[in-house]
Structure 1
Amino acid sequence: MKHPLQTIVAEIQKQERKLSAEASSFIDEAYRMTIYLQELLRTVKEDVLKEGFSSKAEEIHFFKLVKPNILGKLIYYNKVYRIETACPADNGNLHQCYFALQLRELKQEYKEHICNSDFYRYYRSGRTDRDENYYMLGNINYYDGLNSFVFEIDPQFSTYFDYKVAKILANELIYNYLTTKLSPELSPDVLLQNNDTKDIFWTQPKSALIELIYALHAADAVSHGKLGIRKISMVFQILFRVSLSDIHNSFHRMKTRAGSRTLFLDQLKYNLEEYMDKEDNG
Protein backbone atom coordinates (compact mmCIF):
# COMPACT_ATOMS: atom_id res chain seq x y z
CA MET A 1 0.00 0.00 0.00
CA LYS A 2 1.28 3.47 -0.93
CA HIS A 3 2.49 5.48 2.09
CA PRO A 4 1.22 3.23 4.95
CA LEU A 5 -0.15 5.26 7.85
CA GLN A 6 2.20 3.68 10.41
CA THR A 7 5.25 4.64 8.34
CA ILE A 8 4.13 8.26 7.90
CA VAL A 9 3.26 8.66 11.59
CA ALA A 10 6.59 7.11 12.63
CA GLU A 11 8.50 9.49 10.34
CA ILE A 12 6.69 12.52 11.77
CA GLN A 13 7.24 11.38 15.36
CA LYS A 14 10.93 10.80 14.66
CA GLN A 15 11.28 14.34 13.33
CA GLU A 16 9.35 15.73 16.31
CA ARG A 17 11.72 13.99 18.75
CA LYS A 18 14.75 15.20 16.82
CA LEU A 19 13.65 18.83 16.73
CA SER A 20 12.44 18.74 20.33
CA ALA A 21 16.04 17.99 21.32
CA GLU A 22 17.72 20.32 18.82
CA ALA A 23 15.48 23.39 18.55
CA SER A 24 16.45 26.48 20.55
CA SER A 25 12.82 27.22 21.45
CA PHE A 26 9.27 26.00 20.87
CA ILE A 27 8.89 28.73 18.23
CA ASP A 28 11.91 27.38 16.39
CA GLU A 29 10.60 23.83 16.72
CA ALA A 30 7.16 24.78 15.38
CA TYR A 31 8.72 26.64 12.44
CA ARG A 32 11.03 23.76 11.50
CA MET A 33 8.22 21.22 11.82
CA THR A 34 6.08 23.38 9.53
CA ILE A 35 8.81 23.39 6.89
CA TYR A 36 9.38 19.63 7.29
CA LEU A 37 5.67 18.75 7.00
CA GLN A 38 5.19 21.06 4.02
CA GLU A 39 8.00 19.26 2.22
CA LEU A 40 6.67 15.84 3.24
CA LEU A 41 3.23 16.74 1.89
CA ARG A 42 4.76 17.98 -1.37
CA THR A 43 6.73 14.74 -1.79
CA VAL A 44 3.68 12.60 -1.10
CA LYS A 45 1.63 14.67 -3.56
CA GLU A 46 4.22 14.13 -6.29
CA ASP A 47 4.03 10.37 -5.72
CA VAL A 48 0.23 10.35 -5.86
CA LEU A 49 0.05 12.45 -9.03
CA LYS A 50 2.70 10.31 -10.69
CA GLU A 51 1.56 6.82 -9.67
CA GLY A 52 -2.12 7.15 -8.71
CA PHE A 53 -3.78 4.40 -6.65
CA SER A 54 -3.96 0.68 -7.29
CA SER A 55 -7.44 0.25 -5.77
CA LYS A 56 -10.39 2.04 -4.18
CA ALA A 57 -9.30 0.78 -0.78
CA GLU A 58 -5.84 2.32 -1.19
CA GLU A 59 -7.30 5.65 -2.28
CA ILE A 60 -9.73 5.75 0.65
CA HIS A 61 -6.95 4.79 3.08
CA PHE A 62 -4.80 7.64 1.80
CA PHE A 63 -7.39 10.42 1.90
CA LYS A 64 -9.06 9.22 5.10
CA LEU A 65 -5.94 8.54 7.17
CA VAL A 66 -2.57 9.29 5.60
CA LYS A 67 -2.94 12.78 4.13
CA PRO A 68 -5.00 14.14 7.07
CA ASN A 69 -2.28 13.08 9.51
CA ILE A 70 0.32 15.06 7.58
CA LEU A 71 -1.89 18.06 6.83
CA GLY A 72 -3.38 18.10 10.34
CA LYS A 73 0.07 18.32 11.94
CA LEU A 74 1.05 20.98 9.39
CA ILE A 75 -1.99 23.11 10.26
CA TYR A 76 -1.25 22.59 13.98
CA TYR A 77 2.42 23.59 13.92
CA ASN A 78 1.75 26.57 11.68
CA LYS A 79 -0.98 27.74 14.08
CA VAL A 80 1.26 27.24 17.11
CA TYR A 81 4.03 29.23 15.43
CA ARG A 82 1.62 32.10 14.76
CA ILE A 83 0.27 32.01 18.33
CA GLU A 84 3.70 31.86 19.97
CA THR A 85 5.25 34.64 17.86
CA ALA A 86 2.34 36.96 18.68
CA CYS A 87 2.32 36.17 22.41
CA PRO A 88 2.54 39.46 24.37
CA ALA A 89 4.43 38.25 27.47
CA ASP A 90 5.98 35.21 29.12
CA ASN A 91 3.65 35.24 32.11
CA GLY A 92 1.13 37.31 34.02
CA ASN A 93 -2.46 38.31 33.31
CA LEU A 94 -1.81 39.55 29.78
CA HIS A 95 -0.24 36.22 28.91
CA GLN A 96 -3.17 34.26 30.35
CA CYS A 97 -5.76 36.49 28.66
CA TYR A 98 -4.06 36.03 25.32
CA PHE A 99 -4.21 32.22 25.47
CA ALA A 100 -7.74 32.32 26.88
CA LEU A 101 -8.80 34.38 23.86
CA GLN A 102 -7.14 31.89 21.51
CA LEU A 103 -9.03 29.06 23.19
CA ARG A 104 -12.37 30.89 22.94
CA GLU A 105 -11.81 31.50 19.24
CA LEU A 106 -10.98 27.81 18.71
CA LYS A 107 -14.15 26.73 20.52
CA GLN A 108 -16.22 29.19 18.49
CA GLU A 109 -14.79 27.83 15.23
CA TYR A 110 -15.57 24.31 16.41
CA LYS A 111 -19.19 25.21 17.19
CA GLU A 112 -19.78 27.12 13.97
CA HIS A 113 -17.99 25.01 11.39
CA ILE A 114 -17.35 21.50 12.75
CA CYS A 115 -19.49 19.94 15.46
CA ASN A 116 -22.91 20.46 13.85
CA SER A 117 -22.01 19.13 10.41
CA ASP A 118 -23.25 15.82 9.06
CA PHE A 119 -19.71 14.87 8.10
CA TYR A 120 -18.40 15.46 11.62
CA ARG A 121 -21.03 13.13 13.05
CA TYR A 122 -20.18 10.57 10.37
CA TYR A 123 -16.46 10.82 11.14
CA ARG A 124 -16.90 10.60 14.90
CA SER A 125 -19.26 7.62 14.70
CA GLY A 126 -16.61 5.56 12.90
CA ARG A 127 -18.96 4.78 10.01
CA THR A 128 -17.56 3.58 6.68
CA ASP A 129 -20.67 3.32 4.48
CA ARG A 130 -20.03 6.69 2.77
CA ASP A 131 -16.25 6.47 2.57
CA GLU A 132 -16.35 6.25 -1.23
CA ASN A 133 -18.25 9.55 -1.34
CA TYR A 134 -16.01 11.35 1.13
CA TYR A 135 -12.55 9.94 0.45
CA MET A 136 -12.33 9.35 -3.29
CA LEU A 137 -11.40 11.93 -5.92
CA GLY A 138 -14.01 13.53 -8.13
CA ASN A 139 -16.98 13.23 -5.76
CA ILE A 140 -17.29 16.80 -4.46
CA ASN A 141 -20.97 17.67 -4.22
CA TYR A 142 -21.43 21.43 -4.57
CA TYR A 143 -25.12 21.10 -3.64
CA ASP A 144 -23.96 20.61 -0.05
CA GLY A 145 -23.09 24.31 0.22
CA LEU A 146 -19.40 23.68 0.87
CA ASN A 147 -16.91 26.19 2.27
CA SER A 148 -15.47 28.44 -0.46
CA PHE A 149 -12.07 26.91 0.32
CA VAL A 150 -13.13 24.04 -1.95
CA PHE A 151 -12.47 26.21 -5.00
CA GLU A 152 -8.81 26.58 -4.04
CA ILE A 153 -7.95 22.91 -3.56
CA ASP A 154 -6.26 20.70 -6.15
CA PRO A 155 -9.01 18.26 -7.30
CA GLN A 156 -6.27 15.76 -8.23
CA PHE A 157 -4.97 15.67 -4.65
CA SER A 158 -7.98 16.39 -2.47
CA THR A 159 -11.49 15.10 -1.92
CA TYR A 160 -12.23 18.20 0.22
CA PHE A 161 -13.16 15.96 3.14
CA ASP A 162 -9.54 14.92 3.69
CA TYR A 163 -9.03 18.59 4.57
CA LYS A 164 -12.01 18.40 6.94
CA VAL A 165 -10.44 15.47 8.76
CA ALA A 166 -7.10 17.32 8.91
CA LYS A 167 -8.85 20.31 10.50
CA ILE A 168 -10.51 18.08 13.10
CA LEU A 169 -7.14 16.50 14.01
CA ALA A 170 -5.40 19.89 14.05
CA ASN A 171 -8.06 21.46 16.26
CA GLU A 172 -7.70 18.66 18.79
CA LEU A 173 -3.93 19.23 18.94
CA ILE A 174 -4.36 23.00 19.21
CA TYR A 175 -6.95 22.53 21.96
CA ASN A 176 -4.54 20.36 23.97
CA TYR A 177 -1.75 22.88 23.44
CA LEU A 178 -3.88 25.82 24.61
CA THR A 179 -5.33 24.03 27.63
CA THR A 180 -1.80 23.08 28.68
CA LYS A 181 -0.90 26.77 28.52
CA LEU A 182 -3.91 27.70 30.64
CA SER A 183 -4.54 24.73 32.93
CA PRO A 184 -3.47 25.67 36.48
CA GLU A 185 -2.91 22.10 37.60
CA LEU A 186 -0.02 21.86 35.13
CA SER A 187 1.76 24.80 36.73
CA PRO A 188 4.55 23.90 39.18
CA ASP A 189 3.63 26.94 41.27
CA VAL A 190 0.29 25.37 42.25
CA LEU A 191 2.05 22.45 43.91
CA LEU A 192 3.74 24.88 46.28
CA GLN A 193 0.41 25.08 48.09
CA ASN A 194 -0.10 21.33 48.29
CA ASN A 195 0.85 19.96 51.72
CA ASP A 196 1.20 16.43 50.36
CA THR A 197 4.06 17.44 48.06
CA LYS A 198 5.68 20.33 49.92
CA ASP A 199 8.66 18.16 50.91
CA ILE A 200 9.40 17.12 47.28
CA PHE A 201 11.70 19.60 45.55
CA TRP A 202 14.85 19.64 43.42
CA THR A 203 18.02 20.46 45.36
CA GLN A 204 20.63 20.31 42.60
CA PRO A 205 21.24 23.05 39.98
CA LYS A 206 18.66 23.31 37.22
CA SER A 207 21.32 22.37 34.69
CA ALA A 208 21.65 18.99 36.44
CA LEU A 209 17.94 18.27 36.01
CA ILE A 210 18.08 19.30 32.35
CA GLU A 211 21.02 16.96 31.86
CA LEU A 212 18.99 14.11 33.39
CA ILE A 213 15.93 14.90 31.24
CA TYR A 214 17.94 14.84 28.02
CA ALA A 215 19.66 11.62 29.06
CA LEU A 216 16.30 9.91 29.65
CA HIS A 217 15.05 11.24 26.31
CA ALA A 218 18.17 10.06 24.45
CA ALA A 219 17.82 6.57 25.97
CA ASP A 220 14.09 6.31 25.07
CA ALA A 221 13.56 5.64 28.78
CA VAL A 222 10.17 7.39 29.02
CA SER A 223 7.17 6.05 27.06
CA HIS A 224 9.50 4.17 24.68
CA GLY A 225 10.89 7.46 23.42
CA LYS A 226 7.53 8.70 22.14
CA LEU A 227 7.47 11.79 24.39
CA GLY A 228 9.35 14.90 23.40
CA ILE A 229 11.63 16.94 25.60
CA ARG A 230 8.88 19.44 26.47
CA LYS A 231 6.52 16.82 27.88
CA ILE A 232 9.23 15.05 29.86
CA SER A 233 10.38 18.42 31.14
CA MET A 234 6.83 19.31 32.19
CA VAL A 235 6.57 16.14 34.28
CA PHE A 236 9.78 16.94 36.15
CA GLN A 237 8.84 20.59 36.62
CA ILE A 238 5.56 19.54 38.22
CA LEU A 239 7.13 16.77 40.30
CA PHE A 240 10.00 18.88 41.65
CA ARG A 241 8.30 22.30 41.59
CA VAL A 242 10.98 23.97 39.51
CA SER A 243 10.80 26.15 36.41
CA LEU A 244 12.94 25.17 33.41
CA SER A 245 12.03 27.89 30.94
CA ASP A 246 15.38 27.93 29.12
CA ILE A 247 15.85 24.17 28.75
CA HIS A 248 16.93 24.25 25.09
CA ASN A 249 19.51 27.01 25.59
CA SER A 250 20.87 25.29 28.69
CA PHE A 251 21.31 22.06 26.75
CA HIS A 252 23.20 23.83 23.97
CA ARG A 253 25.51 25.37 26.56
CA MET A 254 26.16 21.90 27.99
CA LYS A 255 27.31 20.66 24.59
CA THR A 256 30.08 23.25 24.46
CA ARG A 257 31.20 23.43 28.09
CA ALA A 258 34.80 22.60 28.95
CA GLY A 259 35.66 19.27 30.52
CA SER A 260 32.93 16.68 30.91
CA ARG A 261 29.67 17.51 29.14
CA THR A 262 27.81 15.15 31.52
CA LEU A 263 28.89 16.43 34.92
CA PHE A 264 25.73 15.45 36.78
CA LEU A 265 25.44 12.01 35.21
CA ASP A 266 29.10 11.35 36.02
CA GLN A 267 28.46 12.39 39.60
CA LEU A 268 25.35 10.19 39.80
CA LYS A 269 27.34 7.17 38.63
CA TYR A 270 30.07 7.88 41.17
CA ASN A 271 27.57 8.38 44.03
CA LEU A 272 25.67 5.20 43.19
CA GLU A 273 28.80 3.07 43.02
CA GLU A 274 30.00 4.56 46.32
CA TYR A 275 26.59 3.78 47.87
CA MET A 276 26.80 0.19 46.58
CA ASP A 277 30.26 -0.22 48.09
CA LYS A 278 28.99 1.00 51.48
CA GLU A 279 26.10 -1.48 51.31
CA ASP A 280 28.51 -4.32 50.57
CA ASN A 281 30.84 -3.33 53.40
CA GLY A 282 27.96 -2.71 55.83
Structure 2
Amino acid sequence: MKYSLENIIIEIHNKENKISSQSKSVIDETYEMTKYLQDLLFSVKKYVVEEGFKNDDEEVHFFRTIKPQILGKLIYYNKIYRIETTCPVSNGKIYYSYFSNQLANLKREYVEHLCNSDFYRYYRSGRMDRDNIYFKRGNINYHDGLNSIVFEVDPDFSTFFDYKTARIIANDLLYSYLITKINPDENPDMVFKNTESPKDVSWTESKNALIELIYALYASNCIGFGKIGIRKISLMFQILFRIPLSDLHHAFHRMKTRAGSRTVFLDQLKIALEDYMDKDL
Protein backbone atom coordinates (compact mmCIF):
# COMPACT_ATOMS: atom_id res chain seq x y z
CA MET A 1 0.00 0.00 0.00
CA LYS A 2 0.99 3.61 -0.43
CA TYR A 3 0.48 4.21 3.31
CA SER A 4 2.66 2.07 5.57
CA LEU A 5 2.58 2.17 9.38
CA GLU A 6 6.15 3.44 9.48
CA ASN A 7 5.50 6.23 6.99
CA ILE A 8 2.32 7.34 8.76
CA ILE A 9 4.05 7.46 12.16
CA ILE A 10 7.03 9.37 10.76
CA GLU A 11 4.76 11.81 8.91
CA ILE A 12 2.65 12.53 12.00
CA HIS A 13 5.66 12.87 14.27
CA ASN A 14 7.45 15.22 11.87
CA LYS A 15 4.35 17.41 11.88
CA GLU A 16 4.22 17.32 15.68
CA ASN A 17 7.87 18.34 15.92
CA LYS A 18 7.43 21.14 13.39
CA ILE A 19 4.42 22.63 15.18
CA SER A 20 6.01 22.20 18.60
CA SER A 21 9.22 23.92 17.48
CA GLN A 22 7.23 27.02 16.58
CA SER A 23 6.60 27.67 20.30
CA LYS A 24 2.86 27.87 19.93
CA SER A 25 0.41 27.57 22.81
CA VAL A 26 -1.14 24.19 23.59
CA ILE A 27 -4.43 25.41 22.15
CA ASP A 28 -2.79 26.47 18.89
CA GLU A 29 -0.78 23.23 18.66
CA THR A 30 -3.78 20.99 19.23
CA TYR A 31 -5.92 22.98 16.80
CA GLU A 32 -3.33 22.71 14.03
CA MET A 33 -2.73 19.01 14.69
CA THR A 34 -6.49 18.35 14.64
CA LYS A 35 -6.82 20.03 11.24
CA TYR A 36 -3.74 18.25 9.90
CA LEU A 37 -4.88 14.80 11.07
CA GLN A 38 -8.38 15.34 9.74
CA ASP A 39 -6.95 16.16 6.31
CA LEU A 40 -4.58 13.18 6.52
CA LEU A 41 -7.43 10.83 7.41
CA PHE A 42 -9.47 12.19 4.49
CA SER A 43 -6.62 11.62 2.02
CA VAL A 44 -6.05 8.09 3.32
CA LYS A 45 -9.77 7.34 3.04
CA LYS A 46 -9.81 8.60 -0.55
CA TYR A 47 -6.88 6.34 -1.40
CA VAL A 48 -8.43 3.27 0.25
CA VAL A 49 -11.85 3.74 -1.35
CA GLU A 50 -10.35 4.28 -4.81
CA GLU A 51 -7.50 1.74 -4.73
CA GLY A 52 -8.80 -0.91 -2.33
CA PHE A 53 -6.62 -3.67 -0.89
CA LYS A 54 -4.57 -6.34 -2.61
CA ASN A 55 -5.65 -9.06 -0.16
CA ASP A 56 -7.26 -9.73 3.24
CA ASP A 57 -3.97 -9.40 5.12
CA GLU A 58 -3.45 -5.89 3.77
CA GLU A 59 -6.98 -4.90 4.77
CA VAL A 60 -6.59 -6.29 8.28
CA HIS A 61 -3.22 -4.58 8.71
CA PHE A 62 -4.68 -1.25 7.64
CA PHE A 63 -7.67 -1.31 9.98
CA ARG A 64 -5.73 -2.75 12.93
CA THR A 65 -2.62 -0.55 12.79
CA ILE A 66 -2.58 2.26 10.24
CA LYS A 67 -5.98 3.92 10.48
CA PRO A 68 -6.15 3.74 14.33
CA GLN A 69 -2.83 5.60 14.58
CA ILE A 70 -4.28 8.52 12.62
CA LEU A 71 -7.75 8.45 14.15
CA GLY A 72 -6.41 7.88 17.67
CA LYS A 73 -4.19 10.95 17.47
CA LEU A 74 -7.06 12.93 15.93
CA ILE A 75 -9.39 12.03 18.82
CA TYR A 76 -6.63 12.83 21.31
CA TYR A 77 -5.72 16.27 19.95
CA ASN A 78 -9.35 17.27 19.51
CA LYS A 79 -10.05 16.26 23.12
CA ILE A 80 -7.06 18.23 24.41
CA TYR A 81 -8.21 21.26 22.43
CA ARG A 82 -11.66 21.04 24.00
CA ILE A 83 -10.19 20.60 27.48
CA GLU A 84 -7.70 23.44 27.19
CA THR A 85 -10.17 25.92 25.72
CA THR A 86 -12.46 25.54 28.75
CA CYS A 87 -9.97 25.18 31.60
CA PRO A 88 -9.28 27.87 34.27
CA VAL A 89 -6.40 30.17 33.38
CA SER A 90 -4.70 30.10 36.79
CA ASN A 91 -2.84 27.25 38.48
CA GLY A 92 -4.76 27.29 41.77
CA LYS A 93 -7.19 24.82 43.31
CA ILE A 94 -9.81 25.32 40.61
CA TYR A 95 -7.20 24.51 37.95
CA TYR A 96 -6.19 21.22 39.59
CA SER A 97 -9.80 20.36 40.40
CA TYR A 98 -10.71 20.86 36.75
CA PHE A 99 -8.05 18.45 35.47
CA SER A 100 -8.79 15.98 38.26
CA ASN A 101 -12.41 15.91 37.10
CA GLN A 102 -11.26 15.37 33.53
CA LEU A 103 -9.18 12.40 34.68
CA ALA A 104 -12.15 11.02 36.64
CA ASN A 105 -14.32 11.30 33.51
CA LEU A 106 -11.69 9.44 31.50
CA LYS A 107 -11.52 6.64 34.08
CA ARG A 108 -15.33 6.40 34.14
CA GLU A 109 -15.42 6.15 30.36
CA TYR A 110 -12.70 3.50 30.49
CA VAL A 111 -14.69 1.37 32.95
CA GLU A 112 -18.04 1.78 31.19
CA HIS A 113 -16.98 1.39 27.57
CA LEU A 114 -13.57 -0.25 27.31
CA CYS A 115 -12.04 -2.41 30.02
CA ASN A 116 -14.95 -4.84 30.43
CA SER A 117 -15.33 -5.60 26.73
CA ASP A 118 -14.11 -8.78 25.08
CA PHE A 119 -12.44 -6.73 22.37
CA TYR A 120 -10.44 -4.67 24.86
CA ARG A 121 -9.02 -7.81 26.46
CA TYR A 122 -8.33 -9.22 23.00
CA TYR A 123 -6.46 -6.12 21.83
CA ARG A 124 -4.49 -5.60 25.06
CA SER A 125 -3.34 -9.22 25.09
CA GLY A 126 -1.85 -8.83 21.61
CA ARG A 127 -3.96 -11.62 20.17
CA MET A 128 -4.49 -11.82 16.41
CA ASP A 129 -6.64 -14.92 15.99
CA ARG A 130 -9.86 -12.92 15.52
CA ASP A 131 -8.37 -10.15 13.37
CA ASN A 132 -10.29 -11.34 10.31
CA ILE A 133 -13.51 -10.73 12.25
CA TYR A 134 -12.60 -7.46 13.95
CA PHE A 135 -10.63 -5.77 11.20
CA LYS A 136 -12.32 -6.73 7.96
CA ARG A 137 -15.18 -4.69 6.59
CA GLY A 138 -18.68 -6.14 6.53
CA ASN A 139 -18.35 -8.19 9.72
CA ILE A 140 -20.24 -5.96 12.20
CA ASN A 141 -22.46 -8.15 14.38
CA TYR A 142 -25.40 -6.07 15.59
CA HIS A 143 -26.45 -8.89 17.97
CA ASP A 144 -23.53 -7.84 20.19
CA GLY A 145 -25.38 -4.70 21.28
CA LEU A 146 -22.71 -2.35 19.98
CA ASN A 147 -22.46 1.35 20.76
CA SER A 148 -24.86 3.41 18.63
CA ILE A 149 -21.92 5.14 16.93
CA VAL A 150 -21.70 2.00 14.79
CA PHE A 151 -24.63 3.37 12.75
CA GLU A 152 -22.57 6.44 11.82
CA VAL A 153 -19.47 4.66 10.52
CA ASP A 154 -18.74 4.47 6.81
CA PRO A 155 -18.86 0.74 5.89
CA ASP A 156 -16.36 1.37 3.08
CA PHE A 157 -13.79 2.83 5.48
CA SER A 158 -14.44 1.24 8.85
CA THR A 159 -14.89 -2.09 10.61
CA PHE A 160 -16.09 -0.29 13.80
CA PHE A 161 -13.32 -2.00 15.76
CA ASP A 162 -10.69 0.20 14.14
CA TYR A 163 -12.56 3.03 15.89
CA LYS A 164 -12.44 1.11 19.19
CA THR A 165 -8.69 0.65 18.72
CA ALA A 166 -8.28 4.36 18.02
CA ARG A 167 -10.18 5.15 21.22
CA ILE A 168 -7.81 2.95 23.21
CA ILE A 169 -4.80 4.77 21.71
CA ALA A 170 -6.39 8.17 22.35
CA ASN A 171 -7.28 7.31 25.95
CA ASP A 172 -3.73 6.16 26.69
CA LEU A 173 -2.35 9.45 25.40
CA LEU A 174 -4.98 11.49 27.20
CA TYR A 175 -4.31 9.69 30.49
CA SER A 176 -0.60 10.59 30.32
CA TYR A 177 -1.46 14.19 29.49
CA LEU A 178 -3.89 14.60 32.38
CA ILE A 179 -1.50 12.99 34.86
CA THR A 180 1.13 15.64 34.10
CA LYS A 181 -1.51 18.33 34.68
CA ILE A 182 -2.59 17.23 38.15
CA ASN A 183 0.65 15.79 39.54
CA PRO A 184 3.22 18.56 40.16
CA ASP A 185 6.04 15.99 40.39
CA GLU A 186 5.34 14.92 36.82
CA ASN A 187 4.30 18.28 35.39
CA PRO A 188 7.33 19.98 33.81
CA ASP A 189 5.22 22.98 32.78
CA MET A 190 4.73 23.85 36.45
CA VAL A 191 8.39 23.28 37.27
CA PHE A 192 9.53 25.47 34.37
CA LYS A 193 7.71 28.46 35.84
CA ASN A 194 9.60 28.14 39.12
CA THR A 195 13.01 27.18 37.78
CA GLU A 196 15.71 29.50 36.56
CA SER A 197 17.60 28.07 33.64
CA PRO A 198 20.05 29.74 31.25
CA LYS A 199 18.23 30.61 28.03
CA ASP A 200 21.12 29.37 25.91
CA VAL A 201 20.84 25.86 27.41
CA SER A 202 18.32 24.47 24.96
CA TRP A 203 17.73 21.19 23.19
CA THR A 204 18.09 21.83 19.46
CA GLU A 205 17.49 18.29 18.20
CA SER A 206 14.07 16.65 17.88
CA LYS A 207 12.05 15.46 20.86
CA ASN A 208 12.40 11.93 19.52
CA ALA A 209 16.18 12.24 19.77
CA LEU A 210 15.98 13.34 23.40
CA ILE A 211 13.57 10.51 24.26
CA GLU A 212 15.97 8.06 22.62
CA LEU A 213 18.81 9.39 24.78
CA ILE A 214 16.68 9.25 27.95
CA TYR A 215 15.69 5.62 27.35
CA ALA A 216 19.30 4.68 26.60
CA LEU A 217 20.42 6.15 29.94
CA TYR A 218 17.56 4.43 31.72
CA ALA A 219 18.19 1.04 30.09
CA SER A 220 21.92 1.18 30.87
CA ASN A 221 21.28 1.74 34.61
CA CYS A 222 23.89 4.51 34.60
CA ILE A 223 21.81 6.98 36.63
CA GLY A 224 21.33 6.18 40.31
CA PHE A 225 22.49 2.59 39.76
CA GLY A 226 19.32 1.92 37.80
CA LYS A 227 17.03 2.81 40.71
CA ILE A 228 15.72 6.03 39.12
CA GLY A 229 12.53 5.61 37.09
CA ILE A 230 12.13 6.69 33.49
CA ARG A 231 9.70 9.47 34.45
CA LYS A 232 12.16 11.08 36.88
CA ILE A 233 15.01 10.90 34.37
CA SER A 234 12.71 12.40 31.77
CA LEU A 235 11.66 15.18 34.15
CA MET A 236 15.30 16.11 34.82
CA PHE A 237 15.95 16.60 31.11
CA GLN A 238 12.68 18.44 30.62
CA ILE A 239 13.63 20.87 33.39
CA LEU A 240 17.21 21.24 32.15
CA PHE A 241 16.21 22.00 28.57
CA ARG A 242 12.77 23.47 29.35
CA ILE A 243 11.08 21.17 26.87
CA PRO A 244 7.87 19.16 27.52
CA LEU A 245 7.84 15.45 26.69
CA SER A 246 4.26 14.35 27.29
CA ASP A 247 4.29 11.39 24.85
CA LEU A 248 7.29 9.53 26.27
CA HIS A 249 5.87 6.00 26.43
CA HIS A 250 4.28 6.00 23.00
CA ALA A 251 7.26 7.69 21.37
CA PHE A 252 9.45 4.85 22.63
CA HIS A 253 7.12 2.20 21.25
CA ARG A 254 7.14 3.95 17.88
CA MET A 255 10.96 3.75 17.94
CA LYS A 256 10.71 -0.03 18.36
CA THR A 257 8.91 -0.29 15.01
CA ARG A 258 11.19 2.06 13.05
CA ALA A 259 12.33 1.00 9.64
CA GLY A 260 16.12 0.72 9.50
CA SER A 261 18.06 1.64 12.62
CA ARG A 262 15.98 1.95 15.78
CA THR A 263 18.70 4.05 17.44
CA VAL A 264 19.18 6.77 14.83
CA PHE A 265 20.22 9.51 17.27
CA LEU A 266 22.60 7.30 19.27
CA ASP A 267 24.22 6.19 16.02
CA GLN A 268 24.72 9.86 15.09
CA LEU A 269 26.23 10.58 18.52
CA LYS A 270 28.77 7.81 18.09
CA ILE A 271 29.79 9.07 14.64
CA ALA A 272 30.02 12.67 15.87
CA LEU A 273 32.21 11.70 18.83
CA GLU A 274 34.54 9.58 16.72
CA ASP A 275 34.88 12.40 14.18
CA TYR A 276 35.70 14.81 17.03
CA MET A 277 38.32 12.40 18.37
CA ASP A 278 39.90 12.08 14.94
CA LYS A 279 40.42 15.85 14.78
CA ASP A 280 42.94 15.63 17.62
CA LEU A 281 45.04 12.93 15.95
Mark yes or no: TM-score above 0.5.
yes
Does the CA-based 8 Å contact 1:217-1:225 persist in structure 2?
no
For residue 140 of structure 2, what is the amino acid of its counterpart? I
Larger RCO (CA under 8 A, 6+ residues apart): 1
Does the CA-based 8 Å contact 1:153-1:160 persist in structure 2?
yes
TM-score normalised per structure 2: 0.73
Distance 2:214 2:43 in 1: 25
Larger of the two Rg values belongs to structure: 1
Is residue 2:182 matched to residue 1:215? no
Does the CA-based 8 Å contact 1:5-1:65 persist in structure 2?
yes
Query: How far has the Cα of 1:244 moved from its partner?
Result: 8.7
Q: How does 1:182-201 map to 2 (within 5 A)?
A: 182-187=182-187
What is aligned with 1:90? Answer: 90
**Post-superposition CA distance 1:34-89 (Å, at most 9, x none):** 00000000000000000000010100000000000000000000000000010112
Cα pair distance change 1:56/1:214, threshold 3 Å = same
Does the CA-based 8 Å contact 1:2-1:58 persist in structure 2?
no
Runs of 4+ more than 6 Å apart: 188-191
Distance 1:87 1:132 in 2: 42
Query: How far has the Cα of 1:214 moved from its partner?
Result: 4.9
Is residue 2:152 matched to residue 1:152? yes
Q: Secondary structure at the match of 1:212?
A: coil
Distance 2:148 2:44 in 1: 25
Distance 2:214 2:237 in 1: 16
What is aligned with 1:168? Answer: 168
Cα pair distance change 1:225/1:46, threshold 3 Å = farther
Distance 1:40 1:239 in 2: 35
Cα pair distance change 1:105/1:184, threshold 3 Å = same
What is aligned with 1:103? Answer: 103
Cα pair distance change 1:150/1:225, threshold 3 Å = farther
What is aligned with 2:65? Answer: 65
Give the count of matched residue pairs: 224
Does the CA-based 8 Å contact 1:60-1:135 persist in structure 2?
yes
Distance 2:155 2:189 in 1: 51
Query: What percentage of aligned pairs have identical amino acids?
Result: 55
Query: How far has the Cα of 1:146 moved from its partner?
Result: 0.5
**Post-superposition CA distance 1:190-246 (Å, at most 9, x none):** 98xxxxxxxxx7464xxx1xx43253449x75235999xxxx996456459xx899x
5+ residue gaps in structure 1? 192-200, 246-282
For residue 36 of structure 1, what is the amino acid of its counterpart? Y
Q: How does 1:1-282 map to 2 (within 5 A)?
A: 1-187=1-187, 202=196, 204=198, 208=199, 211-217=200-206, 222-223=210-211, 235-236=236-237, 238-239=239-240
Distance 2:49 2:190 in 1: 53
- CA-atom RMSD in angstroms: 2.9
Does the CA-based 8 Å contact 1:233-1:244 persist in structure 2?
no
Cα pair distance change 1:19/1:190, threshold 3 Å = closer
Distance 1:107 1:188 in 2: 23
**Which deviates more from structure 2 when the two are superposed, residues 177-186 or residues 51-60?**
177-186
TM-score normalised per structure 1: 0.72
Cα pair distance change 1:203/1:37, threshold 3 Å = closer
Distance 2:234 2:120 in 1: 35
**Post-superposition CA distance 1:11-45 (Å, at most 9, x none):** 00000000001152111000000000000000000
**Post-superposition CA distance 1:156-177 (Å, at most 9, x none):** 0000000000000000000000
Q: Secondary structure at the match of 2:121?
A: helix
